[in-house]
Amino acid sequence: MNNINNKLKKDQNLAMVIVGDRCIGCDACYVACKTDWDVPALKEAYRTKVWEVEGKDQQGNPTIGFLPTLCNHCDNAPCVDVCPTGASFKRDEDGIVLVEPDMCIGCKACMIACPYDARYYNEHEQTVDKCTFCLPRTSVGLDPACVTTCVGESRNFGDVNDPESNVAKLLKEATTISRLKEDEGTLPNVYYVTVNY
Amino acid sequence: MSRHNINRRGFLKLAGVSGIAATAGMTGLPSPLKANAKKEAIKGARFLKYDRGVHSASFCEMCFWNCGVDVYTRDGIIHKLEGNKLNPNNRGHICAKGNAGIQSTYDPDRIQSPLIRTGKRGEGKFKKVSWEEAYSYVFDKLDPLVKKYGPETLATFMHGTGEQYVHMFSAALGTPNITVPAYSQCMGSREMAWALTFGTGVSGHETFDMANSKHMMIFGRNMAGAVQVREAEDFSEGLARGSKLTYIDPRQSESAVNATDWLQLKPGTDMALALGFIHVILRDNLANMDFVRKYCYGYNELLEHAKQYTPKWASEKTGIDAKTIERIAWEFAKDAPNVVAIPPRRMTRYGNDTQTVRTIAILNALMGNWGVPGGVFVRTAVPLDLPHHEHPPAATARRADGVGEGEKYPFAPPSLGRTNGIYEATLTQKPYPIKAWMLYGTNPISHSSVGVNNLYKAMDNLDLIIAIDTQFSDTVMHADVVFPESTYLERDDAPYIAKDKVPFVALRRAAIKPIYDTKGCYDICKGISEKFGLQKWFEHSPHHKIEEFVSILSDEQKETLEKDGTLLFEDVDPYPGASGNHLKFATTTGKVQLYVKDLDELYEKEGDEFSPMPIYKDVIAPKKDEFRMLFGRTPHHSHARTMNNWILLELQDDTPIWMNPKDAKYLGFKNGDMVKLVNTDTGFTSHPEALKVTKRIKDGSVFVHHGFGHQTKAWSRGFDKGTSENDFISDGIDPISGAAAFHNGFVKVVRA
C-alpha cells in the first residue's frame, strides 16, 4: 500500500473505499445524494450512480454485479488540468476536487476530460457539478450522504493517512484492491476492494 | 432496465456542446475570471458549511416495514431523511424509496382536499368538497345500505399505520369483513405454513438470523432486490462474513449476485427440490436428531414419506441435476444448526404455496435451527405494561370470504381476512350482498389481485366506494368519495411498538404541517364515525397515544426515546435454543409439526392437497407457444405506490419483458425488439415493451417488474409507464391458506 497516494503532500488523504460485493444495487445512494444536494430532476443529472453490470462466466452462465460510481477525486485530475478558469481545483489539504460555481463558465471541457463521466451540467445553477465527497457534511462531522444511507454498508469514507480509519483498515485487510481506469494515470481516490472477514 | 442504457456522453452530444468544450479544453481559453483574485480567495468556501436543519423523529411509510427515520427540516421544508441509527429495522440506513419520501410528500399530484365523484366511475372527475360534506356523503350512502343489508355489506381494505382506525370503525359499525391484503395477496401461505409447523409465523420482519448464518438457502426470496432494509443488511452482512448462499429462483435476481450456487429451477418446483433435499438428509442421517427427538412430531412418518422423493426424481421435476441436490443437502446439513432455509415472501404463486413452505419449514426443523444464531431467532414482546383501550366487540355476522370455523378456509385468520375472497363475494354477491368498499392505502386495481377485468365487474356491484389515501391510485380514481390522508411526514402516529429480536419502540411526530387540506387516518375515521354515533371509540388520538405511552416510561427511558427516537429493550435472548433453554411451540401437538395433525380431517375429506406431509403434484404447464407470466419486485419502487415519484422514476420507469435466449430464438426475436404480451384467457394485449433477452430468466417463462402500468391520469409522471402484470396473472387459490395464486397465468408474446 505504500505506493498508493503518496504523490501529493496532503494533510489528509481522503478516499472512498467500496467493498464491491456488499453493494446490493438498491440505489439508496443515488436518491440520498440527489436529495441532499438538490441535483436537478433529470436522469442525466447525478453525482453518484450504481451500474448493474451483466456478464458471463467461463461456462457461459449469466453473471451480474453492481458498480457504484462517483467522482474519483484524482490526484492527477484531468478535469483540473483542462479547466480554463481555475473553477475546477483540487484542495491541497485533503485532495478533494471541487468546482467553484462562481468561476465556472460552463464550457464543459472538464466533462469531456473526465474519464469517469463523473460530471454533469446543472442547468439551474449554470455550472458544472459533481461529487464533493460531501465536503459540507464532513466539515460538520457527518459522513457523506451516500455512505450514511448505504444499505449494504458497501461504501466507506475517510482518511487513508490515518491508520485507525475505516478506509485505511479496509485497504490493509483487502484481498483485492482496484481502481477504475488506472491506466489513464489519473491516480483515483475511489477504491474497490474485496475483503475476507 | 433504463438505468443500464443511460449514456451521459450521449446527453452531452445532444446538448451540442462537445465541440465547443473540446476547443476550450485544448486551447485553454483565456478567462477574465481566472484573474479574479476575490473569487480565488473565496473559492470553495461555500463547501464548508452545512445546515442540517431541525430534527424530528419518525418511521418510514414508503413501504410498510417502518424503518426508523430522522427527519431534517430547513425553514419549514423537509430537506433530508436519514436512517435512525438505533432502530433495529434499519440501523441508520434507508433505501432508495425511503430516501425519496420527501418527493412523495411534496408531489403536487397528491390528493389535496376531500372529493366527491361527479363523472362516471373511473373517469377521474371529482368536485372539491368540505370535510363535513364528505363525511355526510358517506353517512347518506352507507347508512341505508347498512339498514338494508346489515353492516356486513361493508368490506374494508387496509394497509398502513392508520389501519387500526379503519379496523376500529369497521368493528364499531359491526362488519366482520375486514381485510388486510398482506395476507391473501402476499404472505398468507408462508405464514400459514410456518404457523402449522412451528406455531408462529415468519412475521413481517423475517425471523431469519442471516447475519450469523453459515448457509442461507433461499427459495425465491429476493433479499437484495425486494428491499426491506434490515433483511437486506443482514443478508449482505452474512455473505460478507462468509456464509454460503444457495439461491433458488427461475430468475437471477439481485440476490443471486454472490450466490455460491444459483439453482435456476423450473418455476413451481420449489417443493420438489426441497423434498429432494429432505430425502438426502433423512437417507444419510444428516438431521439434527437431538432437536428432532426433543421437539419434533412425526419424524417416523416423514422418514417413510420422503423415501419416494429421491434426488433423481427431484432432478427430473426441477431440472437441477441430482448430484448438485445431493451436494447441497450435505453442505447445508454440515453447517447445521447455524443454517437457514428461507421461503418466498410474497408466496402467492402456484396454488401449492402453503405445502411448498411447509416443506421448507421441515428443512429448517431437521436442522434444529430454532432459536440458534444463524438459524431462526425468537422474538420477545416489549416488556412494559402497555396502556389498554377498550375495543368494540367482534362482529357476529358470518364473513363473506370463507374465513372462519366451519367455513372453507378454517385456518385463515379473521383478523386479516381474504382480500381475494372479498373480491369474489363482491363479484358474485354471495354469500350475501357486498355493496360498499372502504379502501385505506390499498389499490386492488394495481396491486396483484384477481384478474382486473373481474375486478371492474365486481366494482360495478358496489353502491359505494370510499377511499382514504395520500394519492390518486388507479382505484382511488374509481372511488365515489375520497379522503386525502396526510403523509407520514405530516402527521403524528401511535408509537411503533415492536415484538422483535430486540424489542423496541419508535416514535413518529409530524415534521411539518400538512401541505394541503389533508388529515391523518384517525381524524378521517373519527369524522365518519361521528356521523354514525360511533365516536366513543375514537377518544385516543395518535398524539394522545404518544403522550400516554411516554407517561409509563421511566425518566431515563423518556429521555432516550425523545432524544433518539428509538427505545431499545436489549435484555432479551433471541437464541433460547443455543442457550439450552426449553423451547415452546404453540402448535396443536406442542411440538414442531413435521406431520401436521390439524390437517388429518381435511386430508381424509379433500385429498392430497391437504396432506399432513407435503405431497408433490406438478403445477399446470404452459401450452405450446405460451409462456408463464412471472413478476417480482424492483429495488426502486414500493409495491404499486411510488410510480409517480420523480426521483424513483429516474431509477426505473419501464418494465422490459425478460425472455430466455432459447425462447427468443424460437420466436425470432432479438434483444431490444418491441413486443406485446397477450393474455391467453382474456385476449388482453399489453402496449409495446422492449424485450430483454437474457439467460437470467428460465426458458418457458417471461418476467416483468411489479407495480407499473398505471392508468391514473392524475399521475402526471407515472401514467402509463410500463406494463402491469395484473392483466396477465392467474386468479388461483391455495386451498389451505385461501391466499391467491398468481403464477399460473400464461401469455403469448407477439411482435409489436
Q: What is the CATH number of the domain that holds A56?
A: 3.30.70.20
**Closest residue, chain A, to B14 (C-alpha):** A44
What single string gives the DSSP state of each residue in A111-166? HHH-TT---EEETTTTEEE---TTHHHHHTTPPPHHHHH-TT--EEEEETT-TTSH
pTM of the entire predicted model? 0.94
Residue A109, domain member (yes or no): yes
- Domain containing residue A125: 14-194
Q: Are B495 and B540 in contact (CB under 8 A)?
A: no
| Rounded Cα distance, B186 and B694, in Å | 27
- Asked whether B514 and B486 are in contact (CB, 8 A), the reply is yes
Class of domain B627-751: mainly beta
- Residue A7, in any domain of the structure: no
- Chain B nearest-CA distance from A7, in A, is 23
pLDDT of residue B451: 62
Question: Could you tell me if B648 lies within 8 Å of chain A, comparing CB atoms?
Answer: yes
B93 and A150 in contact by Cβ < 8 A? Answer: yes
Rounded Cα distance between A12 and A10, Å, is 5
B89 to chain A nearest CA, in Å?
11
Q: Which CATH architecture has domain B188-377+589-610?
A: 3-Layer(aba) Sandwich (3.40)
State how far the Cα of B84 lies from the Cα of A185, in Å rounded to an integer. Answer: 40
**Predicted local confidence at residue B450, as pLDDT:** 57
A47 interaction partners in chain B (CB closer than 8 Å)? none
Closest CA to B632 of B704, B696, B695, B692: B704
Among B60, B99, B703, pick the best mutation site for testing chain A contact (most A Cβ within 10 A): B99
Is residue A6 included in any domain, yes or no?
Answer: no
pLDDT digits (tens, 9 = 90+) for B714-752: 999 999 999 999 989 999 999 999 999 999 999 999 999
| Domain range B53-94+488-518+540-572, CATH architecture | 2-Layer Sandwich (3.30)
Give the mean model confidence (pLDDT) for residues A19-27. Answer: 95
Q: What is the pLDDT of residue B37?
A: 65
Backbone angles phi, psi at B6, to 5 degrees: -65, 130
The CATH number of domain B111-182+416-485+520-534, selected from 3.90.550.10, 3.40.50.720, 3.40.50.740, 3.90.1150.10: 3.40.50.740
- B402: alpha, beta or left? (left if phi > 0; alpha if psi -120 to 50): left
- Pick among B1, B2, B6, B11 to test the A interface (most A CBs inside 10 A): B11
Residues of chain B with pLDDT under 50: 1-7, 10-35
Which three-class secondary structure state does DSSP give residue B494?
A: strand
Residue A23 lies in a domain: yes
Judge whether A139 lies within some domain: yes
Note the ipTM here.
Answer: 0.95
For residue B26, the distance in angstroms to the closest alpha carbon of chain A comes to 7
Alpha carbon distance A149, A24 (integer Å): 13
**DSSP 8-state class, residue B380:** B
Overall number of domains in chain A:
1
- B668 φψ region: left (φ > 0), alpha (ψ -120 to 50), beta (else): left
Q: Taking CB atoms and an 8 Å limit, are A31 and B29 in contact across chains?
A: no
Which chain A residues are closer than 8 Å to B83 by Cβ?
148-149
User: How far apart are alpha carbons B280 and B333 in whole angstroms?
Assistant: 10
| Amino acid in position B574 | P
Nearest CA distance, A39 vs chain B (angstrom): 10
The rounded distance, in Å, linking the Cα atoms of B7 and B636 is: 20
Beta carbon pairs, A and B, within 8 Å: 215
B14 touches chain A (CB under 8 A): no
Strands annotated E in B31-124: 54-59, 68-74, 77-83, 115-117
Task: Look at residue B494 in the predicted model and tell me its pLDDT.
Answer: 96
Of B732, B561, B553, B720, the residue nearest B649 (C-alpha): B720
Instruction: Please report whether residue A173 resides in a domain.
Output: yes
Mean pLDDT of chain A: 94
Strand extents, DSSP E, B60-134: 68-74, 77-83, 115-117, 126-128
B239 touches chain A (CB under 8 A): yes
Residues facing residue A60 across a β-bridge:
none
CA-based nearest residue to B292, from B593, B636, B691: B593
The verdict on a CB contact (< 8 Å) between B102 and A21 is no
Distance separating the N- and C-terminal Cα atoms of chain A: 19
Residue A126: inside a domain, yes or no? Answer: yes
- Name the CA dihedral angle for B46, B50, B54, B56, rounded to a multiple of 10 degrees: 140
pLDDT one-digit tens code per residue, B59-83: 999 999 999 999 999 999 999 999 9
Q: How far apart are CA B407 and CA B399, in angstroms?
A: 9
Does A3 fall in a domain? no
CA distance A152 to A165: 19
List chain B domain ranges.
Answer: 2-48, 53-94+488-518+540-572, 111-182+416-485+520-534, 188-377+589-610, 627-751
B34 reaches A (C-beta below 8 A): yes
Q: At what angle do helices B521-531 and B131-149 cross, to 10 degrees?
A: 60
Inter-chain touch B241–A65, beta carbons under 8 Å: no
> Which of A37, A131, A149, A156 to probe by mutation at the B interface, max B CB count within 10 Å?
A149
Q: What angle do CA B567, B571, B572 make, to 5 degrees?
A: 105
Contact by Cβ (8 Å): B535, B55: no
Q: Are strands A88-90 and B732-733 parallel, antiparallel or unpaired?
A: unpaired
- Point out which residues pair with A157 in neighbouring strands: A16
Give the span between the Cα atoms of B706 and B658, in whole angstroms: 13
Q: How far is A2 from chain B (nearest CA, A)?
A: 26
Give chain A positions within 8 Å (CB) of B62: none
